[in-house]
């Protein structure tokens, strides 16, 4: 079987992948951080590029929004292109008052009310781990670059909680699970990686908060002003 959602040649995909949700953010990263870039995917305008960062071959491509979309691309990257490591980089909403807009969060675990874990892996576990090795490299790199990060649980929602109140779901999260951020992909990515025995984690920059006023990022800022997160991901994924 050939991949359905990508038209790339196997040799054009690097074993190291950054996976932003927005294909235009993938384009921005490729044009501003990689050398000798090549467009390697444009199916459904889900742009992907491969280039070199400090001599290391890197692929960066969009994954879309939501668990089903990211799961499709992660599955195809792992299965058809022998990708070893994926770092999702994206934006998220604050899930707790101590999480502030522009904070960088490393999702060491993801929890969700989604049925995806059971559908994909036949597990009812509502919380799933990301790659410990990748996480350790990100923490080490953040210290080296003097980039402040927070580590902890990410909540993966199926409803955009800025538009629709999901307090009825939040109230059922066990007290010992205290999510820092809310986004829509990590739980799916982590489940696919575990099923394929591959590595994946997620770094997000907080772009909006129900706990702060007049500090939300614009769509342009979401695309272009998250440079610390991008550099952190690039420097971490090339670490041996």
- d(Cα 68, Cα 36) in Å, to the nearest integer? 31
Write down the pLDDT at residue 216: 67
Q: Residue 116 pLDDT more than 60?
A: yes
Active-site residues: which are they?
Answer: 208
Q: In the chain, where are the structural domains located?
A: 10-237
> How far does CA 214 lie from the centroid of its chain?
25
What residues form DSSP beta bridges with 151? Answer: 106
- d(Cα 205, Cα 93) in Å, to the nearest integer? 8
> For 214-239, what is the mean pLDDT?
83
3-class SS at 91?
strand
Q: Give the E-state strand segments of 8-149 in sequence order.
A: 16-20, 35-41, 48-53, 56-61, 85-94, 104-111, 127-129
- Quickly count helices (H) and strands (E) in the chain: 8, 10
Q: Residue 207 pLDDT more than 90?
A: no
Write down the pLDDT at residue 224: 55
Q: Residue 72 pLDDT more than 80?
A: yes
Strands 56-61 and 85-94, bridge-based pairing: unpaired
Write down the pLDDT at residue 147: 94
Write down the pLDDT at residue 204: 97
Ordered DSSP codes for 134-175:
HHHHHHHHHHHHT---EEEEEEE-SS-TTTS--HHHHTTS-T
Write down the pLDDT at residue 208: 87
Render pLDDT for 5-60 as a digit per residue (tens, 0 to 9). 999 999 999 999 999 999 999 999 999 999 999 999 999 999 999 999 999 999 99
Write down the pLDDT at residue 26: 96
Q: Class of 10-237 per CATH?
A: alpha beta
3-class SS at 98?
coil
H or E element in which residue 104 lies: strand 104-111
H or E element in which residue 107 lies: strand 104-111
The rounded percent of the chain whose pLDDT value lies above 90 is 88
Write down the pLDDT at residue 84: 98
Write down the pLDDT at residue 218: 73
Q: Residue 234 pLDDT more than 70?
A: yes
Render pLDDT for 144-185 as a digit per residue (tens, 0 to 9). 999 999 999 999 999 998 899 999 999 999 999 999 999 999
């Amino acid at each position: 079987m050939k991949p359905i959602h990508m038209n790339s040649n196997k040799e054009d995909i690097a074993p190291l992948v950054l996976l932003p949700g927005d294909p235009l953010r993938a384009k921005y990263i490729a044009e501003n951080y990689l050398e000798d870039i090549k467009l390697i995917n444009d199916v459904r305008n889900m742009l992907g590029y491969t280039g070199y960062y400090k001599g290391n071959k890197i692929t960066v491509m969009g994954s879309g929004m939501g668990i089903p979309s990211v799961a499709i691309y992660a599955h195809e990257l792992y299965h058809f292109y022998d990708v070893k490591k994926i770092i999702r980089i994206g934006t998220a909403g604050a899930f707790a008052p101590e999480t502030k807009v522009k904070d960088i969060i490393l999702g060491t675990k993801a929890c969700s009310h989604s049925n995806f874990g059971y559908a994909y892996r036949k597990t009812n576990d509502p919380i799933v781990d990301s790659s410990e090795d990748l996480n350790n490299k990100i923490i080490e790199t953040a210290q080296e670059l003097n980039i402040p990060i927070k580590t902890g649980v990410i909540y993966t929602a199926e409803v955009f909680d800025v538009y629709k109140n999901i307090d009825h779901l939040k109230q059922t999260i066990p007290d010992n699970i205290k999510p820092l951020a809310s986004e829509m992909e990590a739980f799916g990515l982590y489940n696919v990686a575990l099923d394929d025995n591959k590595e994946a984690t997620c770094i997000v920059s907080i772009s909006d908060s129900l706990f702060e006023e007049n500090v939300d990022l614009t769509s342009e800022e979401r695309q272009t002003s998250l440079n610390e997160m991008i550099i952190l991901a690039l420097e971490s994924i090339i670490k041996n």
